[in-house]
Amino acid sequence: MQAIESAGLDDAKSVLQKISSYTKQYCRTHLPDFFRSTSMRYLCEAMDEEACIVPTPELVMNTSGSRTIQDSFLFTLICRHVAYIFWESTEEGKATYVFRTTAFALSHSLQNVFNYIVNDTVVNKRSTLCRNPELQRRLGMVDWISHTAYAEWKQRVRPYC
């Protein structure tokens, strides 16, 4: 799991620093089509105006070696000293993953989650994350929420907002 913490992903770090201007208002103006789904729209509206929405190219690799890049985003919600990071995909049927950190450590935690998602060595990232308690602990994962029905999804997300 050293790959998560250091990974030699200097390029990923510089990209993450550069996109701090992707606020809610920026995304409303320049990326409106990405927030058509009700779950994406809900997360966007729940955020503070100045919070950063991080476009995250999810490198999807399966055991047969097939690779594709899918659009996903990291949303951040801060409640007092606790911060939550939501990993949400634009692809149908992918669950929402929730990570917990402190407001103080948010930048570092956001970087670690981002590095994991864009990493090109982890096969089946989502299922690996669900089955690996140590990885969950290192990334701060506290929940994954299925998209079976919007009302149920929203009810599960609401406590974090």
Q: Out of 26-30, 66-70, 82-86, pick the least confident.
A: 26-30
Share of the chain above pLDDT 90, in %: 36
Tell me the residue ranges of DSSP E strands in 66-157. 67-79, 82-89, 96-102, 141-145
pLDDT tens digits for 58-79?
888 877 878 888 889 999 998 8
